[in-house]
Amino acid sequence: MEDKFFVYALISAKDKRIYVGFSGDLDKRIHEHNSGKTKSTKGFRPWTLLYFEEVQGRDSARKKEKYYKSGIGKEFLKSLLT
């Protein structure tokens, strides 16, 4: 049986940028982003969860993450803001 993962999108309260990632423990990962433990997101705190979905397996999570980082995926995430 494959592990479950969460593909997620966070939005920065500082400048409204969107960050996409995946993790097996969503709550822990959001806490890491907001406590400054992640270099790439440290300067744009605080972060709020914009979107997430549960997927089965690391490979599926990577593919979904890549999709949401693409042009069409980012457009979908931005559409959630309006």
Place of tokens 């949401």: 68
Predicted confidence (pLDDT) at residue 1 exceeds the cutoff of 80: no
Q: Quote the number of domains for the chain.
A: 1
Give CA–CA dist 58/3, Å, rounded. Answer: 7
Q: What pLDDT does residue 15 have?
A: 96
Q: Which domain holds residue 28?
A: 4-79
List the CATH number of the domain containing 51.
3.40.1440.10
Q: How far apart are CA 76 and CA 42, in angstroms?
A: 25
What is the value of pTM for the model shown?
Answer: 0.95
Two tokens at 77? 């995430």
Percent of the chain's residues with pLDDT above 70: 100
Instruction: Quick: pLDDT tens for 16-28.
Output: 999 999 999 999 9
How do residues 26-52 score in pLDDT, each as one tens digit? Answer: 999 999 999 999 999 999 999 999 999
**pLDDT reported for residue 8:** 98
